[in-house]
Structure 1
Amino acid sequence: MGVAENGAEEKLGSYERIQSMHEAERERKKEEIRDACSDGDIAKLVELADSAGGILDDGLRQKAWPILLGVSEPAAGWLDGDKCWQRKPAHRDEEQVQLDVDRAFVYYANDAPEKVMEARKQALFRLIAGVLRRHSMLCYFQGYHDIAQVMMLVLGPGCGAALDRLSLCRIRDYMLPSLTPALQHLQLVPAILNAADKELAAHLSMPHANYALPSALTLYAHDIQAYSDIARLFDFLLAHEPLISLYLFAAIILSRRQRLLAIPQDENDMLFFTLQKLPQPLDLESLIEEALRLFDQHPPESLPGRAWRQISHDSVLKTSRSITAAQSLESTERSFERQAREVAWQETKQKALRTAFKYRRPITSTALAVAMGAVSIWLRKSGNDRVLLAFVLSGFGLIRSR
């Protein structure tokens, strides 16, 4: 049972706004969600997830989220009895997983007795380790435990299949051996801003958009403190392709337009700090509406510059454009492997170019010396070594031509 359903640990946030819905309207929406889940009507679920309040409560989310993630049957999202992963070799990142899990449950479900908290942490470790052992090519990143924590609190500790699909079909670019693809994702944020508000985009002109990295990597789970808010936001994020989280970040920036324009353009540190820190409280419903509007008016293919074109064809941003299209985990793993090789090749090539640039003068001098040596040998063999001597001396200005 999810934390929100228990009620005792509900935090302030979207919950109060949801409760303001007329009770009859709320019950009608609940019935619509149940019907959509029973019928497997993903389009209807998306519509309901986008509307005020999202999927409403954890009981309904336990039905809806696995469907939105493409788990074939809701029951298949539960792996309570699956012990196969424990027989697989330990994943290389499990030590870091343990360190992060020990620091988990800071915001959500943090007032439970110590024994309950310890049991939750053990369950969270098993959940994450299960994903990593089943898909050993994935690389754990700090913040993944924040995502897994939300999934576990809503769906329960046996939600391994749902987390498998979220990892491979939604955020696998962040689980590559390199952070390069993630940084390329972030460049879409200034591109969206440039399409939507050129003045603000020019004011925020920076060589990178790393201010969006913590939110993008963790699907906002690291930054949003109210459990009801992060659960409601996941309703929205899981109902759309992975790109939507970047449009949401652009919407957050646009909502702070006046404050950002008031900061001098040359104060990069202050701008970066302000951009990185999410406003509190978040008006999620209006931000969701704005993100959808931005996506509708400025789809990725229409964005200015090269931000979208430089995204790999095997990136999750391009292979998961539709959540209704069937994707097998095997196909996502193949995309992962191809992109990993592509990134490794690009980084090797860039490293070689940097090395060549760094040593370009010594290499040029060495090549010239070798060439001069070869010419001198030829001249001596041909009896023209005096010509070479005269040429060198004249080069140093030691003899004058007549």
Structure 2
Amino acid sequence: MSSGRRQRGGDVGEQPPPGRRRGEPPGSRRKQKLLSIHQALTSDPVAVETLRGAAVSEGGLLTDEIRRRVWPKLLSVNVYNLPPKPGRAVRRNHKDYTQVQLDVSRSARRFPPGMQAEQRQVLQEQLLDLILQVLRARPELHYYQGYHDIAVTLLLVTGQRLGSALLESLSTHHLRDFMDPTMDSTKHILNYLMPLLQRESRPLHDFMLRAEVGTIFALSWLITWYGHVLANFQHVLRLYDFFLASHPLMPVYFAAVLVLHREEEVLACDCDMPSVHQLLSQIPRDLPYERLVGRALQLFQRHPHTELARQAALQGRKSIAIGSFSAFQRAASRQRPDAVLRRERQQEGADGRARVSLPTPGHSPLVKAAVWGLSATLGAAALAVTQTALEWAPEFLLQLF
């Protein structure tokens, strides 16, 4: 399923030059980014910091094929050690089955427009299984409405088995505060928003305080990583690349940037809760996403979350996601490349567990032409990666042309 088929129409925003998608870097920089990603993935250990840099820079990870390679490394998921598909017989016994089923049934708008009903029903069944598999494997996690919006994005890009492993990792780290039995931890995360606005624009901050709008308008933004509120799937993917490569609080910084971007609109509306809430809860369709991502990064550097913690903390509450992030980053930096993981998996022998289906080595004339063309175009940098390119992912190389 290609990203193009999932594109939802109607967004205007930043218009790319002819032949280039919105937010995608021009040809030479795109090729250099692809080479950098390839080198990072095949180095031992994997150069995760390079992958993070690629994910947050202009255009993000560019294609779903690259996301299927990079997202697992950003979340420390071994694609050669995925859990088997769950059995259908046991899922109805889960305490959250009814609520998850209701949310999944209402998720039709999150699937590609024009998709046949039968195909969508299959994906919704997979989505239901994917969510319940994670909840069953991690009983300390509590389902919340909006969780399925994150799960469906992973499903559409990576499929059910890999999507389940990615969702489990994401749920135990970046999303962990949202999955407590109460909303207290989620409120704590929301509390970082107003101190950010106060530091960047005191007039805007004070206006919102007088309006008593609070931060509830941003709740669905954070708990779904904006997947529930954005109509264009490419914008959702751009933000997922960004958030997966960033600190767990980055969605809050992006929320602050969204509000600051609309400061004039906010200050021009009536200073009351209904007016301001209605304005902010409706995200415009023509936002300059690349510029906003860059501004969120600057905001994160200018106002570290450690400096905001005192204002954000209520009753001394601490964030699990923030507290565990350093250990999460250290673990990610010790990952082995897929070629090594594949050999280790093969050496273990058949043990009854299903294996993930990944591209096998290919030597078609088209792939060879891609390698030759790459070498001629980029010289020594390309020659450095062609030793492993055919083994790693032929279709990746073909994206360079």
With the shorter chain as reference, the TM-score category is 0.7 to 0.9
Aligned residues of 2:177 and 2:320 also touching (Cα < 8 A): yes
- Cα drift, residue 314 of structure 1: 5.0
What is the match of residue 256 of structure 1?
A: 262
CA contact (8 A) 1:300 1:308 kept: no
Q: TM-score, structure 2 length as denominator?
A: 0.74
The 10-residue stretch of structure 1 (87-96 or 220-229) with the greater mean CA deviation from structure 2: 87-96
Counterpart CA distance in 1 for 2:273 and 2:280 is: 10
Deviation at 1:32, TM superposition (A): 1.6
Which deviates more from structure 2 when the two are superposed, residues 27-36 or residues 229-238? 27-36
Residue 312 (structure 1) aligned with residue 317 (structure 2): yes
Distance in 1 between residues matched to 2:121 and 2:280, nearest whole Å: 35
RMSD over equivalenced CA pairs, Å: 2.4
1:290 counterpart = 2:295 = yes
SS in structure 2 of the partner of residue 106 of structure 1: helix
Q: 1:311 to 1:155 in 2, by over 3 A?
A: farther
For residues 131-210 of structure 1, what are the structure 2 equivalents within 5 Å? 131-159=134-162, 160-205=164-209, 206=212, 208-210=214-216
The aligned counterpart of 2:5 is 8
Counting aligned pairs with the same residue, the percent is 28
User: 1:325 aligns to what SS in structure 2?
Assistant: helix
Q: Is the 8 A contact 2:64 2:157 kept in 1?
A: yes
AA in 2 matched with 1:238 = L
Supply the distance in 1 between the matched residues of 2:290 and 2:89 (Cα, whole angstroms).
Answer: 41
Encode CA deviations 1:266-301: one digit per residue, 9 max, x unaligned. x22101111222222222111111111111011122
CA displacement 1:309-362 (0-9 Å, x = unmatched): 7563352133225652228xxxxxxxxxxxxxxxxxxxxxxxxxxxxxxxxxxx
Q: 1:26: how far off?
A: 1.8
- How many residues are matched? 320
With 34-43 and 185-194 compared, the bigger mean Cα shift is at: 34-43
Per-residue displacement from partner, 1:56-89 (whole Å, max 9, x unpaired)? 0000000000111121x2333x44x343796588
Choose from 28, 31, 34 the match for 1:27. Answer: 31
- CA separation of 1:86 and 1:128: change in aligned 2, threshold 3 A: farther
Hey, what does 1:59 align to over in structure 2?
Answer: 65
Which string of whole-angstrom CA distances, capped at 9 and with x for unpartnered residues, describes residues 148-188 of structure 1? 00001111111211110011111111111101211121111
Residue 152 to residue 135, structure 1, CA distance change in 2 (3 Å): same
The answer to whether the aligner puts 1:50 opposite 2:49 as a matched pair is no
Q: In structure 1, what is the equivalent of residue 391 of structure 2?
A: none
Contact (CA 8 Å) 1:100, 1:145: kept in 2 or not?
A: yes
Structure 2 contact 154–167 (Cα < 8 Å) conserved:
yes
In structure 1, how many angstroms separate the alpha carbons of the residues matched to 2:317 and 2:40?
34
What is the aligned counterpart of 1:232 among 235, 238, 249? 238
Q: 1:51 to 1:145 in 2, by over 3 A?
A: same
Note if contact 2:213-2:273 (Cα within 8 Å) is conserved in structure 1. no
Correspondent of 1:302 among 304, 307, 314: 307
C-alpha contact (below 8 Å) 2:5/2:112 kept by paired residues: no
- For the 8 Å contact 1:146–1:218, the answer to whether it is kept is yes
Indicate the residue corresponding to 1:99 in structure 2. Answer: 102
Q: Residues 228-286 of structure 1: CA distance to partner in whole angstroms, max 9, x if unpaired? A: 11111100000011100000000000000111111232x22101111222222222111
Q: Using structure 1 for the length normalisation, give the TM-score.
A: 0.74
Amino acid at match of 1:96: Q
Give, in angstroms, the shift of residue 15 of structure 1: 10
Contact 1:85 1:130 in 2 (8 A): no
Change (3 A) 1:117 1:108: closer
How far residue 132 of structure 1 moved from its aligned partner, in angstroms, is 0.8
User: In structure 1, what is the Cα distance between the partners aligned to 2:222 and 2:66?
Assistant: 26
CA distance in 2, matches of 1:316, 1:90: 29
Contact 2:8 2:113 in 1 (8 A): no
Partner of 1:312, secondary structure, is: coil
1:217 is displaced (CA, Å) by 1.0
Conserved? CA contact 2:208–2:214, under 8 Å: no
Q: Which residue does the alignment assign to 1:390? A: none
Task: Please point out which of 110, 113, 125 is paired with 1:110.
Answer: 113
Work out which of the two has the higher radius of gyration on C-alpha atoms and give 1 or 2: 1
Contact kept in structure 2, 1:10 and 1:227, CA below 8 Å: yes
Question: 1:308 deviation in Å?
Answer: 4.0
Residues 3 and 175 of structure 1: is their aligned pair in 2 closer, same or farther, counting only changes over 3 Å? farther
Residue 304 and residue 93 in structure 1: after superposition, are their counterparts in 2 closer, same or farther (change >3 A)? closer
SS of 1:303's equivalent?
helix
Could you tell me which residue of structure 2 aligns to residue 271 of structure 1? Answer: 276
CA distance in structure 2 between the aligned counterparts of 1:203 and 1:304, rounded to whole angstroms: 22
* More displaced 10-residue stretch of structure 1: 37-46 or 315-324: 315-324
- 1:252, 1:322 → 2: CA distance? 30
Aligned AA for 1:121? Answer: Q
For residues 15 and 251 of structure 1, what CA distance do their matches in structure 2 show?
Answer: 17
Cα separation, 1, equivalents of 2:315 and 2:290: 32
The amino acid that maps onto 1:222 is H
Q: What residue is the counterpart of 2:227 in the other structure?
A: 221
Q: Distance in 2 between matches of 1:54 and 1:179?
A: 32
Which ranges of structure 2 fall in alignment gaps of 5 or more residues?
Answer: 333-401
